[in-house]
Structure 1
């Protein structure tokens, strides 16, 4: 029905605020779902993160944060201490914010809450499919079969392997040859059949235990030049700050224990080391980038120092990375009654430490002075009913 007097409704953007004091924030979760929150225009990134955690029933918030695409289409983590709207208005390409894992840990066995493990699994699967983690063809097949078991449950012979071709099993643009792709998909289907009876949570854990040993796990990289002007990739990893060269020079690793401080000046990012009088400098793209790299690396240094005194970093003398091509093969795929792994539970879903050590959940985020969210959910293994919805 036409509106009277030629009156026309003005089309508005989806994310316009309902009032000057409110902001509707759209956030994409790790399962692909979009959720919206109505926040104050003065809300910080931390307050937005806490709203997401409350929606997910997530108590171990320490490992997670929010990110956005900047105007150069680069991923940038939100500064949790600052007003979210100002950051998006100044730097954001779009109003959408993304939820994800910021602080990776040496062993996924340390994750105590079931929903934490599920979110962590979704992040690692995303990292693998986006090509951020290097893997061989055999590893990719093993990971894909575990992901299918985790996401879809037991193999149904009536499904055959046809349905597998509709889903992303391997890293983007990784397999160009159609014949190789078909053979790899057939191998995934066969391995998937062999996983019948494996609970989704165990499939996810085996997936994560494989990925945590692979190159690229937990790394975030930035382009830079060293003091000689040589192109390098500057990255933070679980061990410290790693510098990789394209010209064949061996990589450098500055361990967290060797780093006193990190600073930025104009486009330069500097490491102050315990065993050197002079700092080690790297030049980034511009002043904004050096400031960002410094903030993120300092956050990871702080996270390391906070967690160094507990069990999170107890087995790190030889580094975190064990580049095994067959590490999953060392886990016998044998199950006892109820589908549990015969060598005992891979993790303790009802870990007593999660109940007797509340600071594990409530410790402040290394990027914020505000305490993390507290939840009235008392069971550490509580999982929402839509846990394995596939998007």
Structure 2
């Protein structure tokens, strides 16, 4: 009797030490995970990856808030998510330059789902024919071979599948036409063709940040595997590859890059950009730190007082595995391909539930869709 009376108190104590996290997966599914309130981000991230049976997890991360802040896996979640429900989204953080080379089909499938979301949100603009081609591979992967008895002569069988921000009957007709040409392709092969074409898009894997240049002109700064890109009036006007950047820093709401002199220059030069807030400047700085470390270093830089790159603005250092280490580790994977269920309706979930990532890129959608139309 004594134990029975005490057990509710113990249960209440245990419950008060835990918090329920809601995580939105790439196929639209919501999962709830209970973790200690004092847990660091790595605990939640590992639980999500375990749920997915995902081994190649270094390309992914968790975001929170409408403007897409990445959860720091080394810090306590309570120190980062200080108010509101603990709601996160699982997303691709580091886009592999050649996603077809990922070891497991599960990983490639998740990257496909991320790219579909990027296309639907307008983050990844495409021409008409590219929309149709990528859409046809998505249909092949989700619905299999075209069957006139099951699918009919028109495009009604895909009319409820979203492929583009502003898709038209003409686009659906083209997708259905191309789908007929993919007969015999397995879902794995269709995903590979999808990735092979998607990786060639100009905005593939580019993380965009609104800023102003030194003259106060609105620009977009894009961080990617190769370096930092600058866009103005829907066109890329500059590109700074990582080897050319000597140092990055931020101060208040200003973001700076120090550039290595060219063969015809004697001195280094510093270029500054202004962001809306100090917090956004720091987020851009951290994004650059992480992308540089992941794609350029063989192993993470150890914390030092005299670290060469980067130095100013914060003590933050990327401590996860690098691209080099990830490829080396995944080459050693030895297991049968994990089973996973493809859920087409949820995988292309768009109209009924706008994700945090889609809301964040509302501005970019209007900005870059025009650029895609101009190239078409």
Is TM > 0.5 for Structure 1 vs Structure 2?
Answer: yes
Q: How does 1:29-108 map to 2 (within 5 A)?
A: 29-69=25-65, 73-90=66-83, 94-108=85-99
Q: Determine if contact 2:41/2:73 at 8 Å carries over to the other structure.
A: yes
Tell me what 1:312 maps to. none
Unaligned stretches of 5+ in structure 2?
A: 1-12, 262-266, 300-318, 347-376
Query: How far off is 1:272 after superposition?
Result: 2.3
Mapped partners of 1:49, 1:124: distance in 2 = 21
Mapped partners of 1:194, 1:106: distance in 2 = 27
Q: Determine if contact 1:222/1:233 at 8 Å carries over to the other structure.
A: yes
Q: Determine if contact 1:18/1:24 at 8 Å carries over to the other structure.
A: no
What root-mean-square deviation, in Å, do the aligned CA atoms of Structure 1 and Structure 2 show?
2.7
Tell me what 1:384 maps to. 339
TM-score by length of 2: 0.74
Change (3 A) 1:18 1:31: farther
Tell me what 1:182 maps to. 169
Are residues 1:224 and 2:179 paired? no
Tell me what 2:247 maps to. 261
Q: How does 1:125-140 map to 2 (within 5 A)?
A: 125-140=116-131
Query: How far off is 1:382 after superposition?
Result: 1.8
Mapped partners of 2:268, 2:100: distance in 1 = 39
Per-residue CA shift, 1:168-206, capped at 9, x if unaligned? 12x22x24xxxxx11221221122122121000110110
Mapped partners of 1:34, 1:47: distance in 2 = 18
Q: Determine if contact 1:263/1:271 at 8 Å carries over to the other structure.
A: yes
Mapped partners of 2:39, 2:344: distance in 1 = 30
Query: How far off is 1:381 after superposition?
Result: 5.1
Mapped partners of 2:73, 2:173: distance in 1 = 45
Per-residue CA shift, 1:320-376, capped at 9, x if unaligned? xxxxxxxxxxxxxxxxxxxxxxxxxxxxxxxxxxxxxxxxxxx93469xxx9xx99x
Q: Determine if contact 2:225/2:292 at 8 Å carries over to the other structure.
A: no
Greater share of helix: 2
Q: How does 1:178-257 map to 2 (within 5 A)?
A: 181-246=168-233, 251-257=237-243
- Secondary structure (helix, strand or coil) at the match of 2:297 reads helix
Tell me what 2:19 maps to. 23
Q: Determine if contact 2:141/2:190 at 8 Å carries over to the other structure.
A: yes
Change (3 A) 1:38 1:247: closer
Are residues 1:168 and 2:123 paired? no
- Secondary structure (helix, strand or coil) at the match of 1:166 reads coil
Q: Determine if contact 1:256/1:304 at 8 Å carries over to the other structure.
A: no
Query: How far off is 1:104 after superposition?
Result: 0.9
Change (3 A) 1:390 1:365: farther
Mapped partners of 1:247, 1:389: distance in 2 = 33
Mapped partners of 1:104, 1:381: distance in 2 = 24
Query: How far off is 1:389 after superposition?
Result: 5.7
Mapped partners of 2:320, 2:234: distance in 1 = 41
Mapped partners of 2:254, 2:336: distance in 1 = 45
Unaligned stretches of 5+ in structure 1?
A: 1-16, 176-180, 309-362
Mapped partners of 2:233, 2:64: distance in 1 = 28
Aligned residue pairs, count: 303
